[in-house]
Homo-oligomer: A and B are copies of this chain.
Amino acid sequence: AEKLVSSNSELKEAIKMAKPGDIIIMANGVWKNTEILFSAKGTKSQPITLKAQEKGKVTLEESSNLRISGEYLIVKGLVFKNGFSPTSEVISFRKDSKTLANNSRLTEVVIDNFNGPERYDVQAWTILYGKNNRVDHCSFINKRTQGVTLIVRLNTAESVENNHQIDHNYFGPRQNLGSNGGETLRIGTSHFSMMNSKSIVEYNYFDRCDGEHEIISNKSGQNTYRFNTFFECKGTLTMRHGNETHVEGNVFFGNGVSNTGGIRVINEKQTVINNYCEGLTGNRFRGALTVMNGVPNSPLNRYVSVKESKIEGNSLINCDHIELCAGSDSERSAIPQTTSLSRNLFVSNSPKMFGIFDDISGLSFDKNIISGAIESPSKKGFTSKDIKLIRNEKGLLIPQGKELGAGAQIANFANRENTGVTWYTSLTVDTPFDSGNKIEVNSGLNTLYEAINNSKPGDILILTDGTYSTSKSIEIPHTLSIISNNKAKLLFETKALFTIVNGGSLKIKGLHIDGEEAPDGPLNSVITTSKYSMNKNYKLFIEDCDFINLDVNNYFNVLRVAPSTFADTVSIKNSTFENISGAVLALNRESDDIGIYNAETVLIENCSFKNIEGAALDLYRGGTDESTTAGFLNVAHCYFENVGLSKKNKKGTSVSLLGVQNANIENSIFKATAPLDFILTVGEPINIIHHCQIEDSQILNIEGEGFENHNNSSEIKIGDDNKPVGLLK
């Protein structure tokens, strides 16, 4: 029978009374603080259904979640938004550890931006337990906090060999988490990775799932991933643990976006056939195709070496990096064995498509085709051809002309239209800088404060001439630009001038910021991030600005971030920093050493740092976790003088980099400054300093491997771009 319910108590009662074949219909409307326990027993022919009166018109909001427990249950058409679950998952296929769901289905359900405030509190959105369950045509959009979006668990006998099916779902954008725990899909855990899961993951669409290196983390045996589409995802389908994985007919579009990856092979008896990768730029653990080295007799939580695996008939078109024996080091010394790469098609304009990090003699190559420019990784098994590509009606590039006998041919795969729900549009959009109105702001006391409070996302505040004094703490709640064409002067009496709060991003340009009226206490800053949680990434751009007299008391920083805040980008150009008692950029607040860090990309160009008591830059990424690799840094044409020499500067450095993956410091001058520290730890870091005028090379402190130091000396006058080192005129 059908039963329409319109309150939590009616819903509970209806569930309690439900018989096979019943349909419980939740009335249209907003259901706040609703924790549903859908515990019932249907039959194969007569399942019990819980569904929305109209799809998309039943929303579960605030503190809500769903547990499904029993047999032959169907949940359909619900939307979770505007809130978060009070427990560690939003939807769980169990009541408790002993009472699971089997033969049940979650279909056409939406979870959108349903995130708790704490960025690093772990919460999954959907966890599958039991057997023979299906999740299909669901939309999972804007997961922002730590925890996997969709998990299949195998933690008890009742959940192994589960034959779950995960199909036609839309996995929407997931921002860079800046930590492990940003996977979009995980099946199993290392502890149970020798168990078979037998899950099928097919026809799903992964849209910009950038949470971490593993879009998918396979951690159990005999799973199938096929006909899924990965659109501009900054990670890979990773066979992290478990054997006999079948990866077939998947499509990866990188579109040249940085760090986009493909398929990473680890473990034994893996099958990777007929997949299509195009425009992927990632390297190392995020290569288009990565075959890892393993650890000899690996413990369950490390890396089992690749054996008896087959990589066949895949297309790797215009991808930057194919990595063989990746991760080779003193621990990961077990090379791939008895593994074949055959009939794959590699197309690239760059000769250096293949990276080879160890002995590839355990790999056999046969009938692979490479385009003309590519340097062959092996004497046999590769044929170089001049290849012309055309895009077929499915949107894939295929070789023109006669049959090559190599590369992928995929008839059907997921697209945006046949995945997820069709009746829901996510309201969460990121506002670009400068997309709003231009608003003139006059000088005076708290005029800027008022203007910002009245601003809308994307607005540009234009400061006319004069002095802008601020006595109230300014919060930046959305994307905002503050610019001056005449170096308007900003004074402030608050501990921080600008606090970027959750959802905010800031661009400042042409400002003259003077700290002389700041309070006479330690730890002032010009810009800070919210001490309260920020589960949204932010951006900070500083251009043509001067910062002076930040010295009324100790440890006055330009930027002081709070823990659990994450910048996609911090960029500083054409700016000067002078007389500062603290640090300029302190991105060093994740000191727990668990792989969390404060900023992904840091760019500093044509800036001058003079008389800075603390560091010009402190960029810290502790821990050894490899699910993320923190940070890209570029410093070019900068000038450093008397930086970091204060006794109060604990680390005693002018630039301090710990765990930064890619650092490039070039064409700059370091004069009478404290040492630069490069501590290279996790991953395969590359830290380079070159063409810098350094008075004393003793000021370079290096720990770890991956450091390159060349063309630096007190005599260097011209950079590698043929311009004078130091500031550009």
* A residues lining the B interface (CB < 8 Å): 86-88, 96-97, 118, 120-122, 146, 181, 189, 445, 469, 471-473, 493-495, 517, 519-523, 531-533, 554-555, 563-564, 591-594, 650
CA distance A473 to B532 in the complex (A): 17
Pair A519/B122 contact, Cβ less than 8 Å: yes
Known A-B contacts A146-B521, A495-B122, A521-B146; the reply to A650 vs B593 at CB < 8 A is yes
Nearest-CB residue, chain B, relative to A520? B189
Main secondary structure on chain A at its contact with chain B?
loop
- Chain B residues, CB < 8 A from A88: 471, 493-494, 519
Pair A531/B118 contact, Cβ less than 8 Å: yes
CA distance A146 to B521 in the complex (A): 10
Pair A521/B591 contact, Cβ less than 8 Å: no
Instruction: Point out the residue from B87, B519, B554, B594 that lies within 8 Å of A594, measured CB to CB.
Output: B554
Pair A522/B121 contact, Cβ less than 8 Å: no
- Chain B residues, CB < 8 A from A564: 531
Pair B471/A87 contact, Cβ less than 8 Å: yes
Nearest-CB residue, chain B, relative to A521? B122
Distance between A597 CB and nearest chain B CB, rounded to angstroms: 14
CA distance A523 to B596 in the complex (A): 12
Distance between A494 CB and nearest chain B CB, rounded to angstroms: 7
- Chain B residues, CB < 8 A from A121: 473, 495
- Chain B residues, CB < 8 A from A473: 86, 121
Pair B522/A592 contact, Cβ less than 8 Å: yes
- Chain B residues, CB < 8 A from A555: 592, 594
Most buried by B among A146, A493, A531, A555: A531
Distance between A594 CB and nearest chain B CB, rounded to angstroms: 5
Most buried by B among A122, A189, A445, A517: A122
- Chain B residues, CB < 8 A from A96: 445, 469
Most buried by B among A471, A473, A563: A471
- Chain B residues, CB < 8 A from A445: 96
CA distance A520 to B181 in the complex (A): 10
- Chain B residues, CB < 8 A from A146: 521
CA distance A538 to B140 in the complex (A): 40
Distance between A555 CB and nearest chain B CB, rounded to angstroms: 7
Nearest-CB residue, chain B, relative to A493? B88
13 contacts between A and B (CB under 8 A): A86-B471, A88-B471, A88-B493, A88-B494, A121-B473, A121-B495, A122-B495, A122-B521, A181-B521, A523-B592, A531-B564, A554-B594, A591-B591
Distance between A219 CB and nearest chain B CB, rounded to angstroms: 12
Known A-B contacts A189-B520, A523-B592, A592-B523; the reply to A87 vs B495 at CB < 8 A is no
CA distance A711 to B418 in the complex (A): 78
Distance between A187 CB and nearest chain B CB, rounded to angstroms: 15
